[in-house]
Each structure stands twice: as C-alpha cells, then as structure tokens.
Chain A
C-alpha cells in the first residue's frame, strides 16, 4: 500500500471570498455602497429598515436583500414600505447568507437605479460574522432588551462590524439594561465601533442614522 500525503493548504472560505470580491466589484462599478445588517433575532433589523425605507427609500434609492431561514415575512413587510425591489433569500435552514446568494440576488436589482443597498442577514450573532458578502461594512444591531454583555459573548460579530445600532431605546426606562456597560463591552472588543442610539419603533434617535446614510450615499460614486 502506498499512502501519499497530498498537501492542499486551501482556505475553506476562499470560494466565498472570491464571490464576495465579485459582489464588491459590481457594486463599486455602480457606486452602490452595501451594508450587511446583522444581529440576534428580534433586535429590530426589519423595523429599522421599515423606518429607513419610509423616509429615505426613494430619496436614496434604497434596495434591500433579506435573508431568512424560512418564510419571506421580512421581505413582505419591507415591500410595503417601498416601490423598489425587496429581494428575499430563504436559506432553507442555513444560519447565514453567503456571497453566492447575494451575487444571485444582485441580478434582480437595477443597480443603475440604486444608491444604497442593505442586506438584512439571518438573525444570528455567530455565523454571519464569518461570511463576507461583499459589503462595505457590517452594522450590528443590539437592542436594550438583550444582555449588555452580548459583545463579550459574541466578540467576532462586534469585531467584524464597523457600526453598532443600539435599538429599542424607548424601552430603556423599563428594562434592567446598563447602557454604559453595553457600550464599554462593545468597545472592549472593538474600540473603533461607531454607535447609533435609536428606537426604530418611535423614531427616537433616527435622525443621526438617516444623516449617516445620506452621507454614505453621497460619498459613493460610480468607479
């Protein structure tokens, strides 16, 4: 018997990363920044996008790709807030979106008529952190009804994110959530994280979020 060892040394995320680079390249050509919204289930990603589409959907030409394990409920909710395409990806059990799904979703989106693109990832603070979708940044949403130590429990997600939205701020007086500690925990794992403090439900704090998005759409120009 001749047993031979064949060295491979192939990165297991290489294929996904190639496709993510293709997504990034296509979006750069069209001057469309894409944000990857990530969070645990129930943090308010869809409500945040509903309010965003309500106010800025037309002004900024926002398109959305939603990812859910089952149902296209989120896409249906968002479609009621915009005339533009909301592309649903049902992962059929997978706990994250990957770059091939986003690349396929792009085929249905008129990038020439889009200035900003959101991906609403599957609600999960673990797996989506490992998958590059071609976004310019991940935005992690954390709500005050969760534990303020979430950033310490799920450090990779907060390390991989450039922005954090602390949502459901209207509930802060009613829940034992230590806001300062939450920010400190997040900065402990990612000192450069930039915060927004919002209640997508009441509109509290949304102005700075909207202004941020306007800046992003303004900055992006076709390559």
Chain B
C-alpha cells in the first residue's frame, strides 16, 4: 500500500545520482525482498508512473526479487553519450 511512497523515494535518489552522472536514464534497478512489505507488481506500476516523467524520460524499472527484507536502489543504467570505453 505504500508502494508510491517508495517509488517517490526511488525518484528522489535517482535524481541525486543523475546530478553526478548526467545522461539519458535507461533503467533503474531495485532489489526487493520477499519480506519487504511491498507488492512487487504494485511497486513496478508506481515506478513506471514516476519514471514516465522528466527528468526520467520513461526509464524502465527493473525489479529483482530476493529473500529477506532488503529494499534497495541497486543501480542505474545511463547513456552518457560518450563513446564506449
């Protein structure tokens, strides 16, 4: 039921990261434990809603389920426009 609160917190943290790593955001990885008290499908729905708008430009949420009560923003995938290393 509090998935939107969590999705908004993901948005806040992603914005902070994007200030340090500018580029086009492609995907956002979240680690979610089975005992985290969240419904993964509902969180995915809320994340899609949050990430649909600027500055996120429709980035794709990727939820990875694990055991326990882990709830973590794991990674961002960003196209920074620079050539591959």
Contact = CB atoms under 8 A, between A and B. Distances in A.
Interface in A25-82: none
B72 A3 contact: no
A156 B9 contact: no
B36 A1 contact: no
A130 B26 CA distance: 29
B21 interface: yes
A107 interface: no
Interface stretch (A121-129, A135-143, A165-173, A177-185): A121-129
B84 A5 contact: no
Place the interface of chain B in its size category.
Answer: 20 to 34
A15 to B, nearest CB: 7
Contact of A130 (B10, B37, B82): B37
Contact of B10 (A3, A5, A6, A12): A12
Given A2-B84, A95-B2, A127 B75 contact: no
Contacts of A13: 71
Contact of B73 (A4, A8, A131): A8
A94 interface: yes
Nearest to A155: B35
Given A12-B71, A129-B37, A5 B77 contact: yes
- Chain B interface mostly helix, strand, loop or mixed? mixed
Contacts of A124: 1
B47 to A, nearest CB: 11
A140 to B, nearest CB: 15
A96 interface: yes
Contacts of B38: 130
Given A3-B26, A4-B23, A127-B37, A10 B5 contact: no
B37 A6 contact: no
Interface string B11-55: 011000100010100100010000111100000000000000000
Contacts of A174: none
9 contacts: A5-B75, A12-B72, A15-B9, A96-B1, A98-B5, A126-B37, A127-B2, A131-B2, A156-B37
Given A2-B84, A4-B78, 7 more contacts: A2-B85, A7-B74, A9-B72, A12-B6, A95-B1, A124-B1, A131-B2
